[in-house]
Chains A and B, each alone.
Chain A
Amino acid sequence: MAEAERKRTAAEEALARHFAALSGDDPMREQRASAFDAFLQRGLPHRRIEEWKYTDLRALMRDAPGPAAPAAPEAAKAALANADVFAEIDRARIVFVNGHFVPALSDLSGLEKDVEFASFGRFLADGGALLDRACDQADESEAPVLALNGAFVTDGAVIRIRDGAKLARPLEIVTAFAGEEPGLQTLRHQVSVGEGAEAVILQSYVGPDGVAYHTNAVAELRIAKGAKVKWVKAQEEGDAALHLGLVLPRVDAGAVFDPFFFAAGSAVARSEIRLVFDGEGASAGIRGATIARDRQHIDTTLIVDHAVPHCTSQEFFKSAIDDEAKGVFQGRINVWPDAQKTEGKMMSQALLLSEGAEFANKPELEIFADDVVCGHGATCGEIDEEMLFFMRARGVPLEEAERLLVHAFLAEAIEEIGDEDVIAALEARTRSWLSLGSEVR
């Protein structure tokens, strides 16, 4: 049956209604319409589409709330309370609540001379000069998250970090949802990091439990020659939320780009990164740690394109899956014919903590160059019985021993971040997700 004739799902119907209800005098009307058409051409992705095989949005996305109303100042402030994962770090903040920039809660002090910031909303109001896509490794016709983002985007961070700047402190982008009614928040970030600049960019996603809100966040990143960037995402959405994230970095020669994906929140989440190396000698360490429990479904999907020679990528993911939760890791490294001397190493390890836990582990290498060093591995196992017994024999109850070992397992990925403060923040967060006391040193 052709897609056009297929009966739409309830969520697709709802999306069409919400789209039709968008304001008619929006200068972005045409661009939004073309994005939404692209979405409707294929509809929500489902299990017969290879990249969505394990995360069937037609089944997982029962309904689709309409764009969230901006939060009142007090509500916005309250929504920030949970966005404390990086609280111990002296950082600048750009805050979005319900898909809208909240200047009163943001603080860019100390970064004035190195960072130019504007809210994406301003460009949208002007007709979206910036919407010329900065990174084209995804296309609305094939990437439903991007298409929906194009149709519904309300705001985002447009950030330019000057050549040679070394940011005095990390910059956090907070995405918080406020309110008890489900709503959709859609953000588009465009970040360009200048030549030789160094930056740590943090993101935290939070929202209330029990509210079926949706987050759609797309980030286009341009990392110029010789820049060094850490891009750390902490996904701690509320427990009924749906989170769709797409990160599109282009990394130029000699740059070092290290993203990290910490995922513990939401009912359903898909975090996808499609990274392209544009210049020689660049490297990327793409890592992550996932904790899933109850009936959570957490998907991490990455595509790394080695299109030029002498680039290095390392992918390292750890997932701990409990209860009836499901984890997905899909990783693909493409090494195109020109990409000689590529080094690529991908590893995804999962711990299954219960009978009902599931993990789909799918690392892939596609190599079209002959002089490369690439490898990948995947494991899916249970907690080591000998270690458990040892700890129990010292009086540690079974559950606590398990949690200590899960923490140890995830910490191996977190420790690779290479920034002491961020490591400490995410380790502490992992401990608190696991109800463990603090570390003694």
Chain B
Amino acid sequence: MLEIDNLHAKVAEDEAEILRGLSLKVGAGEVHAIMGPNGSGKSTLSYILAGKEDYEVTDGSVTYKGEDLLEMEPDERAAAGLFLAFQYPIEIPGVGTMTFLKTAMNAQRKARGEPELSTPDFMRTVREVAASLNITPEMLKRPLNVGFSGGEKKRNEILQMALLEPSLCVMDETDSGLDIDALRVVADGVNRMRSPERSIVVITHYQRLLEYIVPDFVHVMSRGRIVKSGGRELALELEEKGYADYVEAA
């Protein structure tokens, strides 16, 4: 599904590298967790995967479904099935949530040569999924994320993820700012999406989320690299010992 090889990247106008030779392979149907201290480059990695222009890749490659991901425009990546749940979803005043959802869904369908959704089909799907995520019809009437609490914004990300049915989900600290109930709702939403065709990369700072979304693989990221990979138990070990050893190692 995704193969990142020796990725080096920096902020376009800066010299210092943020990603320093990062490699990672994610197979179809797998759930990977990337854990690491603040500032280790987790969000940078997710932005580069999604195609944000602020970053410059100086070396290495990213292959997604056999294609060079870095050559694709952000919207092409999305149409090809990549989804990034943002750590900080932004507010877009004046763009209605429903209008945005429909635009995004139809844009992707169009890019894939599929027919557009009819409005009634769209409405029904959105209402169903929204209800499962405790997103009220009233929230859906508002402009995108405007006036949403932190937790509501995160749930709205999962709503979009569920509607767009991506094949690779990258979730950047979706757990931060969620109370325990919201965390459960979000995790249930993600778990419903697990399937043999869909891969999930969960970026998190804490292992708490991984109790609900149980990963197949856990990676420790420090200073722009994956410094250790293992199974579920690695997350528990990190919880106990902290990141200090790995920060040294990087």
Contact = CB atoms under 8 A, between A and B. Distances in A.
Interface in B32-80: 50-53, 73-75, 77-79
A393 B51 CA distance: 8
Contacts of B86: 390, 393
Contacts of A108: none
Contact of A404 (B77, B103, B111, B119): B103
B107 A408 contact: no
A385 B52 CA distance: 10
A441 interface: yes
B99 interface: yes
B122 A440 contact: yes
A387 B98 CA distance: 16
A425 interface: no
A354 to B, nearest CB: 18
A409 interface: yes
Contacts of A409: 94
State the 4 A-B residue pairs at the shortest beta-carbon distance, nearest first.
Answer: A408-B94, A395-B78, A392-B74, A395-B108
A437 B110 CA distance: 14
B200 interface: no
A26 interface: no
Interface of A: 385-387, 389-398, 400-401, 404-405, 407-409, 411-412, 437, 439-441
A65 B65 CA distance: 63
A398 B73 contact: yes
Contacts of B73: 392, 397-398
A396 B107 contact: yes
A405 B122 CA distance: 22
Interface in B85-112: 86, 89-90, 92-96, 98-105, 107-108, 111
A398 B53 CA distance: 13
Most chain A Cβ neighbours within 10 Å, of B83, B84, B103, B160: B103
Contacts of A411: 94
B141 interface: yes
Contact of A398 (B75, B79, B90, B143): B75
24 contacts: A389-B50, A389-B51, A389-B52, A389-B53, A389-B74, A391-B92, A391-B104, A392-B51, A393-B74, A393-B77, A393-B84, A393-B86, A395-B104, A395-B105, A395-B107, A398-B73, A398-B75, A400-B107, A404-B95, A405-B95, A408-B93, A411-B94, A412-B94, A441-B141
B96 A440 contact: yes
A408 B95 contact: yes
A441 B98 contact: yes
Chain B contact surface mostly = helix
B233 to A, nearest CB: 33
A394 B111 CA distance: 12
B199 to A, nearest CB: 17
A440 B141 CA distance: 9
A405 B91 CA distance: 12
A411 B83 CA distance: 29
Nearest to B143: A408
Contacts of B52: 389, 393
A391 B79 CA distance: 12
B164 interface: yes
Contacts of B50: 389, 393
Nearest to B97: A440
Interface string B156-188: 000010001000000000000000000000000
A278 to B, nearest CB: 36
Contacts of A394: 78, 83, 100, 104, 160, 164
